[in-house]
A and B are shown apart, each in its own frame.
Chain A
Amino acid sequence: MTDRFANAYSKGPALVCFITAGDGDTAANLDALVAGGADVIELGMPFTDPMADGGAIQAANLRSLGKGTTTKDVLAIAAGFRARHPEVPLVLMGYANPMVHRGSDWFAAEAARAGVDGVICVDIPPEEDAELGPALRNAGIDVIRLATPTTDAKRLPAVLAGSGGFLYYVSVAGITGKQQAAQASIEDAVAKLKAATDLPVAVGFGVRTPEQAEAIARVADGVVVGSALVDIVGRDGANAPAALKEFTAALATAVHTAREPAL
């Protein structure tokens, strides 16, 4: 695990914020997330066929690609972020084809050079790790894996093998931005995952309000919010940074104070 992840998750529950690269003024939007209190940034790499995403992030992918965003642009956004925010962990999240198209070694080297700490590749399960995993680990980048409600105890060791940074628990069997799982099932799942790994466990999919984030932060090491932020970018365009900062601040307060005793 890179030091940045260790630091981010050492101070209590962390807020993990996702937006899509190239959608709106991404540099300004990322700065707003950090100013609002985000502890970890996930930067989405746009793809023409975002099969695991719901309407909000699908639309963000298309807006970004429609403006001509290239892989080079995404890496430049990452490098710019790293220069401005030396301490905040940065994750690239996306689909396999844009990541492996020029070769996994090329992608891993460029991502490392841009200061990326971890990569989430939605459609490379542990069974296909050889496609990208070794290249990333060799470049010092954590392979962040997803665990889901369908990942049973028998399968979990395979998911954890070779994974780093944190474990991303997808709380619902489904696509991003839709319904949220019942709190009880999240608590149960997180407890099982934490018993199996020392990695921090962050929970995402369907988290749209500070109240939801707070409830999850009581049991998990991190809370991931994506679609709700991406919706703000889509809605406010060039004016998004102000609204992003305000909403992120509300989320961050909820997450960071979740474990304080009620007054």
Chain B
Amino acid sequence: MTDLVNSFRTQPDAEGHFGQFGGRYVAETLMPLILDLEAEYRAAKADPAFKAQFDHLMKHYVGRPSPLYYAERLTDHFRKSAPDGKGPKIYFKREELNHTGAHKINNCIGQILLAIRMGKTRIIAETGAGQHGVATATVAARFGLPCTIFMGAKDVERQKPNVFRMKLLGAEVQPVTSGAQTLKDAMNEALRDWVANVHDTFYIIGTAAGPHPYPELVRDFQSVIGTEARAQILEAEGRLPDLLIAPVGGGSNAIGLFHPFLDDAQVAMIGTEAAGHGLDKEHAASLAGGSPGILHGNKTYLLQDEDGQITEAHSISAGLDYPGIGPEHSWLHEIGRASYLPITDDEALEAFQLCCKLEGIIPALESAHALAALPHKVAEYGEDQIVIVNLSGRGDKDIFTVADAMGVAM
């Protein structure tokens, strides 16, 4: 039985705080709406019809449950170089097989159902790599709501296939030319649009961050990942895993995998942050290279200078190119329940290629950051132990970036 007093799964508190993190740092114009959203989310959570509708769409539209797959050749590969008896069994949670090719759709289904419950008639979202933009455009099309996606102009340029996908799905893509023209700036612009259109617009935030209740509700919708994985590994192996690994930008796929396991003390968890060119150079590792601060509605670890000005992030993965992280990860980091490992662009690229060649799976560059933790960790785990890696998305969108990094002209 779970001891609720000592549970790691009861956050946030009533004010939306995960320890010192989270909260509701928004302009007054948005506060009433945020409070409405919270009330509506509480009502939806208690409504069996809402859950039934969510589950139905998850099964028939998204294609869940996603498989838990034993990556046999990758397991063998690491055992060859590991000390005797070392090298755990590696499983992939196959979120890349979801409709739209990533975990993002789980959250979008949940949020658009909330939007409809609240009577909102227009959808907006921010996107970095375009995965969340595509997932949002998808559910907006499915439910017949007009949709505007804010995307940094630089990301529009480096993620052309996803931009076209969003347009095919009927969304308007609004390139954002302020700041560094990436995810952070897209989020600023989405907030500006939202504050001017609160009466009819629902903002589908793409990660487990932003003002309360977003970090909580995004986590809850994404927790389908961990809930499934827990049941699947018990069925496959008759026991819980020893280690979970997931990539962390904002960290929605990671918190979705971790959360259902948080009270299983024997399960270790690693979130991989994007270390870009290295922690001493340009990177996007807000835990390893940042400090607590306030941005985009929540208190969390941020990349910032000595005056609290936000500094630019860098990662080869557009989805990790953000100077912050979801507040629950900041909390898990501070209390030590999860640990976070910086992974460089080069390490991710190597893992990307290894996964293609050994498993016949082209992973998203975000997911490749999780795979790249394996060389750091396999020697610590025995052959009878189990690691689950969250394969959060497929890598078709990244082939141009990878080709460029490999010096291949396409």
* Residue picked from A101, A145, A170, most chain B C-beta under 10 Å: A101
CA distance in complex: A70, B305 (Å): 10
CA distance in complex: A32, B296 (Å): 35
Q: Are A123 and B294 CB-contacts (below 8 A) given A54-B192, A65-B309, A98-B308?
A: yes
Contact of B32 among A65, A70, A155 (CB under 8 A): A155
Question: Is A178's CB under 8 angstroms from B196's CB?
Answer: yes
CA distance in complex: A49, B249 (Å): 19
Q: Which of A5-13, A35-43, A146-154, A212-220 contacts B (4 or more CB under 8 A)?
A: A146-154
- Residues from chain A with Cβ under 8 Å of B27 in the complex: 51-52, 122-123, 125, 146, 148
Question: Is A125's CB under 8 angstroms from B307's CB?
Answer: no
Contact of A170 among B15, B29, B198, B199 (CB under 8 A): B29
Question: Is A151's CB under 8 angstroms from B15's CB?
Answer: no
Question: Is B32's CB under 8 angstroms from A97's CB?
Answer: no
Pairs A–B under 8 Å by Cβ, sample size 30? A48-B310, A49-B188, A49-B295, A49-B296, A52-B27, A96-B25, A99-B308, A100-B293, A101-B293, A101-B306, A123-B27, A123-B294, A125-B31, A127-B23, A128-B25, A131-B294, A146-B27, A146-B29, A148-B27, A148-B29, A150-B30, A150-B33, A151-B28, A151-B31, A151-B32, A155-B31, A173-B195, A173-B196, A173-B199, A174-B195
Question: Is A175's CB under 8 angstroms from B192's CB?
Answer: yes
Instruction: Judge whether B26 is part of the interface by a CB distance below 8 angstroms.
Output: yes
Question: Is B297's CB under 8 angstroms from A70's CB?
Answer: no
Question: Is B28's CB under 8 angstroms from A147's CB?
Answer: yes
Known: A52-B27, A52-B192, A127-B31. 5 other contacts (CB 8 A): A48-B309, A48-B311, A97-B304, A145-B28, A173-B29
Instruction: Judge whether B85 is part of the interface by a CB distance below 8 angstroms.
Output: no
CA distance in complex: A175, B26 (Å): 13
A-B interface contact total, Cβ < 8 Å: 118
Instruction: Judge whether B93 is part of the interface by a CB distance below 8 angstroms.
Output: no
Q: Are A123 and B26 CB-contacts (below 8 A) given A97-B293, A150-B33?
A: yes
* Residue picked from B25, B296, B297, B299, most chain A C-beta under 10 Å: B25
Q: How many residues of A contact B (CB 8 A)?
A: 44
CA distance in complex: A1, B324 (Å): 37
- Residues from chain A with Cβ under 8 Å of B15 in the complex: 127
- Residues from chain A with Cβ under 8 Å of B178 in the complex: 58, 62
Chain A residue nearest to B15 (CB atoms) is: A127
- Residues from chain A with Cβ under 8 Å of B369 in the complex: none
Instruction: Judge whether A181 is part of the interface by a CB distance below 8 angstroms.
Output: no
CA distance in complex: A229, B176 (Å): 25
Question: Is A48's CB under 8 angstroms from B26's CB?
Answer: no
Chain B residue nearest to A54 (CB atoms) is: B192
Chain B residue nearest to A65 (CB atoms) is: B309
Chain B residue nearest to A154 (CB atoms) is: B32
Nearest CB on B from A2, distance (A): 23
Question: Is B31's CB under 8 angstroms from A49's CB?
Answer: no
Question: Is B297's CB under 8 angstroms from A123's CB?
Answer: yes
CA distance in complex: A49, B192 (Å): 11
- Residues from chain A with Cβ under 8 Å of B310 in the complex: 48-49, 97
Interface string of A32-71 (1 = CB under 8 A from B): 0000000000000001111111100010001001000011
Instruction: Judge whether B179 is part of the interface by a CB distance below 8 angstroms.
Output: yes
CA distance in complex: A51, B294 (Å): 12
CA distance in complex: A122, B341 (Å): 34
Instruction: Judge whether A250 is part of the interface by a CB distance below 8 angstroms.
Output: no
CA distance in complex: A142, B304 (Å): 28
CA distance in complex: A95, B309 (Å): 10
Instruction: Judge whether A77 is part of the interface by a CB distance below 8 angstroms.
Output: no
Q: How many residues of B contact A (CB 8 A)?
A: 37
Contact of B304 among A53, A101, A174 (CB under 8 A): A101
Binding site for B on A (CB under 8 A): 47-54, 58, 62, 65, 70-71, 95-102, 122-125, 127-128, 131, 145-152, 155, 159, 170, 172-175, 178
Question: Is B191's CB under 8 angstroms from A51's CB?
Answer: yes
CA distance in complex: A174, B178 (Å): 18
Question: Is B198's CB under 8 angstroms from A97's CB?
Answer: no
Question: Is B28's CB under 8 angstroms from A170's CB?
Answer: yes
- Residues from chain B with Cβ under 8 Å of A170 in the complex: 28-29
Nearest CB on B from A125, distance (A): 5
Instruction: Judge whether B302 is part of the interface by a CB distance below 8 angstroms.
Output: yes
Q: Are A51 and B296 CB-contacts (below 8 A) given A96-B25, A127-B31?
A: yes
CA distance in complex: A58, B192 (Å): 11
Chain A residue nearest to B35 (CB atoms) is: A155
Instruction: Judge whether B184 is part of the interface by a CB distance below 8 angstroms.
Output: yes
CA distance in complex: A17, B308 (Å): 25
Chain A residue nearest to B32 (CB atoms) is: A150
CA distance in complex: A245, B356 (Å): 66
Q: Are A150 and B198 CB-contacts (below 8 A) given A58-B178, A98-B307?
A: yes
- Residues from chain A with Cβ under 8 Å of B191 in the complex: 51-52
Among B147-165, those with CB < 8 Å from A are none
- Residues from chain B with Cβ under 8 Å of A127 in the complex: 15, 23-24, 31
- Residues from chain A with Cβ under 8 Å of B26 in the complex: 123, 125
